[in-house]
Structure 1
Amino acid sequence: MENLSQTFLFFLLSILSQAFYFAKSQSFIGVNYGQVADNLPPPATTANLLQSTSIGKIRLYGTDPAMIKALANTGIAIVIGASNGEIPSLASNPTVAMQWISTNVLPYYPSSNITLISVGNEVLTSGDGNLISQIYPAMQNLQNALASASLAGKIKVSTVHSMAVLTQSDPPSSGTFNPAFGDTMKQMVGFLQQTGSPFTINPYPFFAYRSDPRPDTLAFCLFQKNAGRFDGGSKITYMNMFDAQVDAIHSALNAMGFKDVEIVVAETGWPYRGDSNEVGVSVDNAKAYNGNLVAHLRSKVGTPLMPGKSVDTYIFALYDEDLKPGPTSERSFGLFRPDLTMTYDIGLSKNGDMSPATPSPSTGKPTAWCMPKEGISDSQLQADLDYACGLGIDCGPIQPGGACFMPNTVKSHAAYAMNLLYQTAGRNPWNCDFSQTASLTSSNPSYGPCSYPGGT
């Protein structure tokens, strides 16, 4: 009886610890764990690191048993991968697929929370016609093997694509898949719809900027203040490249008749270091992209074509991969160093401030509020408003029914949002610039039920 009680107590504590983790993690924020390196921390150390963050998902490129075991009972969702080299045997022999599931899934599930199997990586744009023809049968055989193990629906099957599967992506409403993939793409997306699996994509605004290195493109890619880009098809002005790229995929799926298929961002990131001839590579830019991306996801505003829900997004990458070939940037995407210190802080630590919040007064700086300058046009103020709210601040008070909704003018709403961003971003003079459309004032703009946060 005592052993049974101890077993039950252990089970209860395990459930409670997972519930506590889920309460503080954010399921839509994931990270990629690449292993082309010779200096990675032990798997158990990495699992502990992840539990100290708000990261709720991890993507493995293979099926590393030690890492999968280390993640057991953490609640962290795990993506495992079948390599491109495994696709031919998985496609040609259902028994191989069943053995793959028996070896790489059944010994660990459900203690290790495996949720998705990624079959290959960027196969359609690999140029290997033989592999392209085999990707769909391989996915089918793995799905059937999961069904035989009574895991269909619990673990999904998909494959990861690069943005190059699109022949048209700008503007986002014109998103179209390359017709050369024809029936293969249609079969695969039909499979995803039938099984409830996601379409997984690798959007990298960094690469978009590299091919168009203008200052306004950089701001657009980094979620920073910019004029936006108008989509004549949808009549939407996009304020960042991430939303534009994801919505281009949504448009392509819609054009094919599969608008309800979920989209998951399997990889996105920004290198913090590079060679002298690499544009846009810096710690500041990497911190701006990944930090603003996390804030954008936490705001749950979604994208213009998919509002109100954050797309599950896996940031590349947890650590640098020091053995990767190519330019220095290829080895410089890590959020953490091998000694577990942060390369730069984007607010993922559970012990730190993970999201913008209404600040409490602090000493050292005079009371000030950030307000729009006189004579600024409504179109410019709307851009300021979209920019501030797009970074994840609480714009609820200026929504219908909110304490600051009235007066219902662009100027009033922009003033509230610009001030709140200034107060939460550090109350530095440069936090109240907004491309020279705002300035600080010592006059409290609060009125009636509407309170403007202010710092001292």
Structure 2
Amino acid sequence: MALSIFFFLLLILFSILPANAQSYIGVNYGLLADNLPPPSDAAKLLQSTSIHKVRLYGADPAIIKSLAGTGVEIVIGVANGDLPSLASDINVASQWINSNVLPFYPASKIILINVGNEILLSNDLNLLNQLLPAMQNVQKALEAVSLGGKIKVSTVHAMTVLGQSEPPSAGSFAPGYQTGLKGILQFLSETGSPFVINPYPFFAYLSDQRPETLSFCLFQPNPGRVDSNTGIKYMNMFDAQVDAVHSALKSMGFEKVEVVVAETGWPTSGDSNVVGPSVENAKAYNGNLIAYLRSMVGTPLMPGKSIDTYIFALFDENLKPGPSFERSFGLFKPDLSMAYDIGLTKTSSSSSSQTSQSPPGGKATTSMGWCVPKEDATEEQLQASLDWVCGHGIDCGPIMPGGACFEPNNVVSHTAYAMNLYFQKSLETAMDCDFSQTARITSDNPSYNNCIYPRAGGLEIKASGER
């Protein structure tokens, strides 16, 4: 119970923090398009949001310079083709740092250099052999200009680096990669740098298109999946994938190496024969992901902290090769308008934090009311929602035996309390009171007797009548 109360207070704290304090929310800024806005306009857009980090695939000087003085933290990348020269000559690494870092730092807050992108996936033995030496030379070049430790050095991996990911506790690296990875992991451990990975629940859904898998991938209510080794019930694919990576690190003796998510996202459209891409699903995935990160619950194997996560992507990239959905991951359109609203703008964040004032008469309400189950929702649907909410760090103590809201002891009553508590800790958008279309927003105060439905800000709601 004490732990639940701790998470409850932590959620309230983060619901009232300014948007720019959410340093774990990042975005990928790709350039494979011919219709992107000028970097200066993109920088202004980023400043209007709660996005605190930007990942570049290269080191575009115009973008890096445009972010100077904004406080936005920047991840830059070394092209795969540059690895051989960087690995063979420390002077080349020094020249790279002199050209791509020193002219901009510290006004532009470069925090990480990714040496190569998904090199292991390429199966190019030449690049594989030169990855670690290239990383080491970039690190030495940073140390030579007193930036060692201030700017970290890593490389980005695809999820295919794992040979096993289910159950999450049995996550392990593919045998063919383990020898090469050992040196890289030792380097990351010694330099305090993160292991950077690209988990995509979207691709997991493409390989298993059952409705319950979609809900599992979209952070929506679902039956959950139990890890047969630990007994932990996972309620979303993101947790399962990230914990599988953590388990793989642990199996190699590097469980203290931080995990950073370099890419994750969901496309808004795709070819007619591809099930999954849609604005509705993209909004659900990215919106629920952000709410989940803001909750600071963490994953089951890494609780109590948010993982730095870079959503793919800032804009659609109309020149990107591959299936059509690859060109439809953008959070924003080239004209800087939102592709869909997931509460990233500072205006929406601040407005949601202004809903905690009490109106005259002592009846506290939110700007949108309370979230309760729909009358036609089945007990099975409500039980899935109840399990999901209580498994995401929400304090469900009041609906446990002895709690003020335990009676009446039925699924409808308990789920109503849990749904509303989750809603009040969210940005209070209609999307946060959806629960797979089994919930609705009401202006009628659902509190009764001594069962007080709390709201953001921690103020009490005066009950009126019985339920």
TM-score range, shorter chain: 0.7 to 0.9
Matched residue of 1:50: which SS?
helix
* 1:94 equivalent in alignment to 2:90: yes
Aligned to 2:448: 446
Distance in 2 of aligned mates of 1:204 and 1:388:
22
Is residue 371–residue 419 contact of structure 1 (8 Å, CA) maintained in 2?
no
Distance in 1 of aligned mates of 2:377 and 2:311:
40
User: Gaps (5+ residues) in structure 2?
Assistant: 1-16, 357-363, 456-460
Once the two structures are TM-superposed, the CA of residue 181 in structure 1 deviates from its matched residue by 1.4
Q: How does 1:86-125 map to 2 (within 5 A)?
A: 86-125=82-121
Distance in 2 of aligned mates of 1:160 and 1:427:
34
Is residue 371–residue 423 contact of structure 2 (8 Å, CA) maintained in 1?
no
* 1:325 equivalent in alignment to 2:321: yes
Is residue 33–residue 318 contact of structure 2 (8 Å, CA) maintained in 1?
yes
Aligned to 1:417: 418
Q: How does 1:336-415 map to 2 (within 5 A)?
A: 336-353=332-349, 361=365, 369-370=372-373, 383-388=384-389, 395-396=394-395, 398=397, 414-415=415-416
Cα displacement string for residues 46-101 of structure 1 (whole angstroms, at most 9, x for unaligned residues):
10000000000000000100100000011100000001000000001111011111
Aligned to 1:151: 147
Once the two structures are TM-superposed, the CA of residue 355 in structure 1 deviates from its matched residue by 9.4
Distance in 2 of aligned mates of 1:193 and 1:430:
39
Distance in 1 of aligned mates of 2:144 and 2:18:
30
Cα displacement string for residues 219-273 of structure 1 (whole angstroms, at most 9, x for unaligned residues):
1000011100110111111000000000000000001111110000000000001
Cα displacement string for residues 278-322 of structure 1 (whole angstroms, at most 9, x for unaligned residues):
111110001100000001001110111101101000000000111
Give, as a single letter, the amino acid of the residue that structure 2 aligns with 1:55: I
Give, as a single letter, the amino acid of the residue that structure 1 aligns with 2:238: F
Distance in 2 of aligned mates of 1:148 and 1:425:
45
Is residue 80–residue 119 contact of structure 2 (8 Å, CA) maintained in 1?
yes
Once the two structures are TM-superposed, the CA of residue 104 in structure 1 deviates from its matched residue by 0.6
Once the two structures are TM-superposed, the CA of residue 362 in structure 1 deviates from its matched residue by 7.5
* 1:160 equivalent in alignment to 2:156: yes
Distance in 2 of aligned mates of 1:285 and 1:399:
32
Pick closer, same or farther for the CA change 1:226–1:350 going to 2, 3 Å.
same
Matched residue of 1:55: which SS?
coil
Counterpart selection for 1:255 from 248, 251, 267: 251
* 1:241 equivalent in alignment to 2:243: no
Is residue 299–residue 390 contact of structure 1 (8 Å, CA) maintained in 2?
no
Aligned to 1:4: none
Distance in 2 of aligned mates of 1:151 and 1:417:
48
Cα displacement string for residues 126-184 of structure 1 (whole angstroms, at most 9, x for unaligned residues):
11011101100000000011111100010000000000000100110110001111321
* 1:73 equivalent in alignment to 2:69: yes
Is residue 55–residue 310 contact of structure 2 (8 Å, CA) maintained in 1?
yes
Alignment size in residue pairs: 430
Pick closer, same or farther for the CA change 1:410–1:261 going to 2, 3 Å.
farther
Pick closer, same or farther for the CA change 1:309–1:364 going to 2, 3 Å.
closer
Counterpart selection for 1:35 from 17, 31, 35: 31
Distance in 1 of aligned mates of 2:24 and 2:255:
20
Aligned to 2:43: 47
Aligned to 2:12: none
Pick closer, same or farther for the CA change 1:84–1:426 going to 2, 3 Å.
closer
Give, as a single letter, the amino acid of the residue that structure 1 aligns with 2:133: P
Is residue 371–residue 439 contact of structure 2 (8 Å, CA) maintained in 1?
no
Counterpart selection for 2:310 from 308, 314, 318: 314
Is residue 167–residue 177 contact of structure 1 (8 Å, CA) maintained in 2?
yes
Is residue 370–residue 422 contact of structure 1 (8 Å, CA) maintained in 2?
no
Give, as a single letter, the amino acid of the residue that structure 1 aligns with 2:419: M
Is residue 372–residue 438 contact of structure 1 (8 Å, CA) maintained in 2?
no
Cα displacement string for residues 183-223 of structure 1 (whole angstroms, at most 9, x for unaligned residues):
21010011101100000000000000001111111110000
Distance in 1 of aligned mates of 2:368 and 2:46:
35
Counterpart selection for 1:285 from 281, 286, 298: 281
User: Gaps (5+ residues) in structure 1?
Assistant: 1-20
Distance in 2 of aligned mates of 1:23 and 1:232:
38
Pick closer, same or farther for the CA change 1:91–1:168 going to 2, 3 Å.
same
Higher relative contact order (CA 8 A, sep 6+): 2
Is residue 44–residue 70 contact of structure 1 (8 Å, CA) maintained in 2?
yes
Give, as a single letter, the amino acid of the residue that structure 2 aligns with 1:448: N
Give, as a single letter, the amino acid of the residue that structure 2 aligns with 1:199: F
Q: TM-score, normalised by structure 1?
A: 0.84
Pick closer, same or farther for the CA change 1:295–1:364 going to 2, 3 Å.
closer
Distance in 1 of aligned mates of 2:320 and 2:434:
41
Is residue 301–residue 390 contact of structure 1 (8 Å, CA) maintained in 2?
no
Q: TM-score, normalised by structure 2?
A: 0.83
Distance in 2 of aligned mates of 1:418 and 1:146:
49
Is residue 88–residue 131 contact of structure 1 (8 Å, CA) maintained in 2?
yes
Pick closer, same or farther for the CA change 1:346–1:404 going to 2, 3 Å.
farther
Matched residue of 2:347: which SS?
coil
Once the two structures are TM-superposed, the CA of residue 407 in structure 1 deviates from its matched residue by 5.3
* 1:214 equivalent in alignment to 2:216: no
Distance in 1 of aligned mates of 2:92 and 2:85:
7
Identity of aligned residues (%): 58
Once the two structures are TM-superposed, the CA of residue 23 in structure 1 deviates from its matched residue by 6.0
Cα displacement string for residues 377-422 of structure 1 (whole angstroms, at most 9, x for unaligned residues):
9xx8774334235678xx358489xx96775999676442123346
Distance in 2 of aligned mates of 1:430 and 1:198:
32
Distance in 1 of aligned mates of 2:247 and 2:112:
24
